Amino acid sequence: MEDWKEIIDWHLLNPIRTKMAEFREKGTVYPDSKSVLKPFKLTRVKDVKVVIIGDEPYCDGTADGLSFSSQGKETPPDLQNIFKEISEDFGVNMSGYSMKEYFPTNDLKCWADRGILLLNAVMSVSEGQPGSHYGIGWEEFVKSVLTALNNGKQPIAFLLWGQKARQFAPLISNSIHFVQQASHPRPKTVKEGFIGAQHFAKTTSFLSRAGRMNTIDLWPYFDHDRVKRKINEVQKKLNYTQKWSDELIYDLMAGRFFISLDESAQIFSTNPEINFDL
């Protein structure tokens, strides 16, 4: 967390600590004290590629400090909808994987390790009391984090989900960044803009064009090498020697084929036997 300490006013946490102590005297608070600031322990400033902001942690005991991540065995409805949207964006049903294989865990630490900063507008909650920690200072702290990232020199994609998260949008004023807003993925609001927003595909394309993908997987189990093998297989059958860029490969996974009409006509008319399923 040392690099974060250089760019964030950590004094903003002092009133939050006071209120958290009061809440803990009255009952259980989630996540536990060691996990509240987990995003800053797992994702270094220089590695941040994506910032995802939700509303608040789960209040049922499964919150682990990362927004939408869960310690529970059952996948929370919010996270189910996130997985479904990734599936739609990248054609998981065409990839040869089952949903369980593609998303084998509800622990999103693997996202944090890849440079995805997982925050909530309010980063703590009392057991069984949604909304109980609004107004204790978390909003100001998150604002300081976003302001610091906005002033950085590395392009970042900001995904703001839900009413509380979308209130931070004006803070992202630097034109090098990419801001996307949608409804919260919880069942009650998921159809109000989250479904079909293609945030994951658009984010991947943005980072690819910004030179920040480095051919590493961004979302869990995004099998870049598998796609490359499939493309190489197709190219050999076509005797097509032009190298496809990593950017194009990510666009392919996002369902966009940036090839000329002549090339597409050649592929689909003269080689009908080729299987394009990924």
Asked whether the CA dihedral 247, 253, 256, 260 is positive or negative, the reply is positive
pLDDT per 10-residue tile (average), the chain, 278 residues: 81 94 96 95 94 97 96 94 88 65 85 93 97 96 96 96 96 97 97 94 88 60 53 62 53 40 38 36
pLDDT of residue 265: 38
Contact at 8 Å (CB) between 120 and 54?
yes
pLDDT of residue 209: 87
Q: Which residues contact 129 (CB under 8 A, 6 or more apart)?
A: 59
Q: Domain coordinates of the chain in residue numbers?
A: 2-209, 224-270
Contact at 8 Å (CB) between 96 and 149?
no
Would you mind telling me the total number of residues written for the chain in this entry?
278
Q: Which residues pair with 120 in a beta bridge?
A: 54
CA dist 113 and 257 (Å) reads 30
CA dist 100 and 118 (Å) reads 22
pLDDT of residue 97: 64
Q: Which CATH number fits domain 2-209: 3.40.640.10, 3.30.2020.10, 3.30.70.20, 3.40.470.10?
A: 3.40.470.10
Tokens representing 268 are: 């689909």
CA dist 10 and 25 (Å) reads 24
